[in-house]
Chain A
């Protein structure tokens, strides 16, 4: 079983949700980024998503766009992201997922990227603009290297797509909480439970909810219905605000601890799959 699968299994036994934390590789600087990864793991993140910065991300809101631009200005490349990943893997055992747009992977070479990712101890890859219709090449290559390809589902995905996506999904199913780009929002959508239930009806694979999940109370709410919560923009914005301070890792660690604590509260038993 993959490190991601084992992680969800263990959390399930402990009746906890998974806290998935996203940061942009190289943000605010490559050195700080490396330090932050360890701090986020130390603070209790169950899975870390590391974003490969891309110049033109279609699914990202202003916070992650700006962080990506900043990382690119620091000359962050996919090769250096993989070095960062390998450095993290040498220090910590927490499952690591790379999140990227397709073109940087395509230019790296699919085979080469899968090989280098496996070599760096990466457990899963999310390619945000690679829907199942276009994913055969990559998914096959990744599978051979033992890398989970994680697919997204959205509130507007019709039933037939839900079925298709969960069948292909490796690691976990990434459920986008609402229509639109990434970004912190004051409240979660009211129909989240139905959305998760709709996916749950088609699969026993773990479901993590992201997009707009930005506060401990959101994480608690998400973990009542899903297997994990993904917090991205809120962490990225905090890193931005703390970038100039002496110890951004401390503030980010404190926030992650709060988020993780929320995964332990009010956990209800996972409903039986249909």
Chain B
């Protein structure tokens, strides 16, 4: 089926990379097809243009602050008593997360396409802040769609977006979280695509976003691969990254795909996989079509999308990028869950032992990395993508921990 796809319709160049095995694709209403194909075409031409690559590289270095460090966690390693734990410090990117890597790339593309306005969805607010930031940098207007529930629990990021002169639009439909923000953003984009560029924040959704976002985030894995070779003289044994939509994970994994390196994606197990209150699309979901792609989703037997739960707003999503669905199916990557409790414990642990405050999303990866490290021998190396910093979560952590303490 994918092979046939490439050979017909719009021609191979626009649909190139639109499918990941049986996953991915472009399942959207007709009105969104022309703008998506226009983005795909523009991206195809940009990636072949050395000038675009140079501008992106310069912005990543001078504005985002790349390369980010690869940091050896001495005390955390000692505490776990096994493998050496390294953190890829995406939390040290300007704006505090890996999201800016993608936002900078897509803003350059929007400018190239002559768009004057950006729009974006956001869950934890990290992508919203990144989009609002590049809008300021490129002198563009910016509308951010955010679920009402997320606006409440990520108040700090909402205020940051407003400081950056973006308009934050509260979405009150459905479960009032990331899924609904994406629905609303696509609905608005249907009518505004001529002037507005939709800066999608994760490696999910319809073609060309899974491919394009992965490409822009792969700088994380490329740097990490080179850094670990310099610091350890060898490749890591295991990569660990949290997975909501999956952009930080695919960005870390992709440059290691051909290597003999284990890859583990950590989903939000929420209150536990058995409770049904989680956001583990890969570990507990099934194949379906959501937000323009065939992938693994959380749904009822009749194909209605389930509401999800995670303490981390950025993981609170019932779908996942289609390339992860493929990597899971082929066995190249493994996907596991970490609960709210485990993430909160890891959040506290990394603060106390390393003086690093991870985003609650990234704390899921840290939680699982600690388990892997504890079960590994001392020469083993575990490399974790610390995708964002946790300042935005302080209020929510305080609230949740206060409820937890009897």
Contact = CB atoms under 8 A, between A and B. Distances in A.
Given A58-B32, A78-B302, A133-B26, A102 B289 contact: yes
Interface stretch (A150-158, A217-225, A257-265): A150-158
Contact of A154 (B31, B289, B301): B31
Interface of A: 54-61, 65, 72, 77-79, 101-108, 128-134, 136-137, 151-154, 156-158, 160-161, 164-165, 176, 178-181
Interface stretch (B186-194, B243-251, B371-379, B397-405): B186-194
13 contacts: A55-B305, A56-B179, A58-B187, A72-B304, A79-B302, A108-B302, A129-B27, A134-B27, A152-B30, A152-B31, A157-B34, A176-B30, A179-B193
Contacts of B32: 58
A107 B29 contact: no
Interface string B166-177: 000000011000
A129 B292 CA distance: 8
Centre residue among B34, B35, B191, B291 by max chain A CB count within 10 A: B34
A103 B289 contact: yes
A108 B292 CA distance: 18
Contact of B303 (A65, A108, A181): A108
A132 B288 CA distance: 18
Given A130-B27, A133-B26, A153-B30, A103 B191 contact: no
Contact of B187 (A133, A136, A137, A181): A181
Nearest to B27: A129
B190 A59 contact: yes
Contacts of B290: 56, 103
A181 B28 CA distance: 12
B147 to A, nearest CB: 13
B26 A58 contact: no
Interface in B1-51: 1, 4-5, 9-10, 15, 25-35
Interface residues on B, range: 35 or more
Contacts of A103: 288-290, 297, 299, 303, 305
Contacts of B10: 133, 160
B290 to A, nearest CB: 7
Nearest to B8: A133
B25 A134 contact: yes
Contacts of A132: 9
A86 B183 CA distance: 32
Given A108-B303, A133-B10, A181-B190, A102 B34 contact: no
Contact of A58 (B4, B25, B29, B299): B29
B35 A156 contact: yes
Centre residue among A57, A103, A176 by max chain B CB count within 10 A: A103
A203 to B, nearest CB: 15
A57 B184 CA distance: 10
Given A156-B194, A179-B192, A181-B190, 8 more contacts: A55-B305, A61-B187, A103-B290, A104-B303, A108-B302, A128-B29, A133-B9, A180-B187
A176 B5 CA distance: 26
Centre residue among A58, A59, A101, A128 by max chain B CB count within 10 A: A58
Contacts of B33: 131, 133, 154, 157, 161
